Amino acid sequence: MTDAAPADWYIAYYREHYADSVRPMLTEDRSRAEVDFLLHATGLQPPALIADVPCGFGRHTRAFAERGFRVVGVDQNADFIATAREQLPPGAESELRVGDMRQVFGGPYDLVAMLFHSFGYFADDENRALLADWAARLHTGGHFALDIWNRERILRLFTPERTWRASPELEVTETSAFDPLTSRLAIHYHYAYSDGRAFAYDASHRLYTLTEIRDLFTAAGLTVRSVWGALGDTPYTLDAPRLVVLGQRG
């Protein structure tokens, strides 16, 4: 492992090379199925207002907008926001802005969605405040959907180093270490392209248990309504691929 990741590691990491590594798995069909699942679970109908935080390159934003929902998205990467704008359907009622997800705005929302492990980048107090501040922007009865890595699965199957091929052009090597005192997973990423280019990044993710997420939701005025092991009808178990929690504001 290299030295610890800087506090603002996510700014350098969530750029073009990260996008290259995940784009092949994040198909339009997958994004639409995930949005359909959330809409079925919440019962929301257009023109409800949805916050996609952070929205990345807008795959869920687009799927919500295609169904007639009003969508607000924020991401720190200006290139991702530009891509998200280009992909919106004509006439979509959407607001996309470049910014820090900790700077809450807009609302009141019918749904705040933090998807694809977009929670846990910051220090514990900042993560807590971020969740509470966005939850406070919900209507009474509004929903909060959180989709993160399943800490229990990661630790049960912990692999200090793994290499995987994201595409024919890109191989990714991850070297990981877990600190049980802070519950943070440090990952050193090495991206190797077939044309010889190589890039390295350090990341630091706070991994949360279901109990911790429940307590964060409760402190934010949210009641946990459902828990799944993926953004689909997958039960949550210790070996589930993800931890998806749906809360509702009282």
pLDDT (tens digit per residue) in 149-178? 999 999 999 999 999 999 999 999 999 999
Task: List, by residue range, all CATH 3.40.50.150 domains of the chain.
Answer: 9-150+208-249
Give which of 153, 138, 116, 151 is closest to 231, Cα–Cα. Answer: 116
The shares of helix, strand and coil residues in the chain, as percent rounded to the nearest 5, are: 30, 35, 35
pLDDT > 90 fraction of the chain, expressed in percent and rounded = 98
Per-residue tokens: 113: 């969605």
pLDDT, mean of residues 88-94: 95
The pLDDT value recorded for residue 242 is 98
Residue 2: pLDDT over 50: no
Task: List, by residue range, all CATH 2.20.25 domains of the chain.
Answer: 153-205
pTM for this predicted structure: 0.96
pLDDT (tens digit per residue) in 235-246? 999 999 999 999
Type of residue at 10:
Y
Per-residue tokens: 218: 């409760």
Whether residue 109 contacts residue 102, with contact meaning beta carbons closer than 8 Å, is answered with no
Residue 16: pLDDT over 70: yes
Average pLDDT, the chain: 97
Residue 89: pLDDT over 60: yes
Count Cα neighbours of 24 within 13 Å in the Cβ-side half-sphere: 11
Whether residue 90 contacts residue 70, with contact meaning beta carbons closer than 8 Å, is answered with no
Residue 1: pLDDT over 80: no
The pLDDT value recorded for residue 4 is 76
CATH number of 153-205: 2.20.25
The pLDDT value recorded for residue 3 is 52
CATH number of 9-150+208-249: 3.40.50.150
Residue 209: pLDDT over 50: yes
